[in-house]
Amino acid sequence: MAGNHNFYIGLSLAICSSIFIGSSFILKKKGLLKIANRGSMRAGHGGHAYLKEWLWWAGLISMGIGEAANFAAYAFAPATLVTPLGALSVLVSSVLSSSFLNEKLNIHGKIGCMLSILGSTMMVIHVPQEDMNLTLAEMSEKLRSPGFIGFAIYVLVTSTTLIFVIGPRYGHSNVLVYVLICSSVGSLSVSCVKGLGISLKELISGKPVLKEPLGWVLLFCLVICISIQVNYLNRALDIFSTSIVTPIYYVLFTTAVMTCSAILFKEWQNMDLDSVIGTISGFLTIVFGIFLLHAFREIPFSPDLIYFSQRSCSGNNHSSPQRESGRQNQPLLDEDDLNREFQNIEAEEVENL
CA count, 13 A, side-chain hemisphere, 89: 32
Q: How many CB atoms lie under 10 A from the CB of residue 322?
A: 8
pLDDT band at 305 (very low <50, low <70, confident <90, very high): low
Residue 326 lies in a domain: yes
Residues 119 and 263 in one domain: yes
Name which of 163, 157, 323 is nearest 231 in CA terms. Answer: 163
Domain endpoint, select from 270, 295, 320: 295
Pair 192, 244 in one domain: yes
Q: Please list the helix, strand and coil fractions of the chain in percent, rounded to the nearest 5, in that order.
A: 85, 0, 15
| 309 and 207 in a common domain | no
Q: What percent of the chain has a predicted confidence (pLDDT) above 70?
A: 75
Distances (CA, A) of 210 to 74, 142, 184, 245: 20, 20, 29, 38
The phi-psi region of residue 266 (left if phi > 0; otherwise alpha if psi is between -120 and 50; otherwise beta) is: left
- The domain boundary, picked from 295, 313, 339, lies at 295
Give the per-residue pLDDT at 350.
47
Please write the tens of the pLDDT for every residue from 239-267: 887 667 877 887 788 888 888 888 888 77
| Residues 265 and 312 grouped into a single domain | no
The predicted pLDDT at position 337 comes to: 52
- Claim to verify: residue 261 and residue 137 sit in the same structural domain: yes
Note whether residue 25 is domain-resident.
no
Does residue 29 fall inside a structural domain? no
| Same-domain status, 319 and 286 | no
Q: Which domain holds residue 335?
A: 303-352
pTM confidence score: 0.66
pLDDT of residue 312: 56
Residues 219 and 320 placed together within one structural domain of the fold: no
Q: Which residues contact 171 (CB under 8 A, 6 or more apart)?
A: 177, 178, 235, 239
Residue 39 lies in a domain: no
| Number of structural domains the chain divides into | 2
Instruction: Look at residue 30 and tell me if it is in a domain.
Output: no
